[in-house]
Amino acid sequence: MFFLFGLTSRERMLFARNATCHFCGQYVPQRVLQRRTKLTVFFIPLVTLNRKRLMVCSNCGATSKISAGQQRAMAG
Ligand SMILES: [Zn+2]
């Protein structure tokens, strides 16, 4: 038997919110993204291996990982 395994990651933007960037210190929109890494078999995504929330600064482009709690606090 032959299986073709691979990994694919997709990003989805959840929302953007003004916040102070930890890197550049500017109060600018921060985009909150969700990145999912999936295991693919014959290019069909089957299992989600990893789910990360990322915050991307619109000023300096710095990306930082945030927790679910931080995401809720920002969304609220
Ligand atoms: Zn920044």
What pLDDT digit, counting tens, does each position of 5-50 carry?
Answer: 999 999 999 999 999 999 999 999 999 999 999 999 999 999 999 9
Q: Check pLDDT > 90 for residue 63.
A: yes
- 1, pLDDT greater than 90: no
Find the 39 Cα to ligand 1 centroid distance in Å.
32
Q: Mean of the pLDDT values across residues 57-61? A: 97
Tokens 């990982």 locate to 65
Buried b (16+ CB within 10 A) or exposed e, 7-38: eeeeeeeeebeeeebeeeeeeeebbbbeeeeb
Distance 76 CA to ligand 1 centre (A): 21
Å from CA of 55 to ligand 1 middle: 10
Centre of ligand 1 from the C-alpha of residue 67, in Å: 18
CA of 51 to the centre of ligand 1 (A): 23
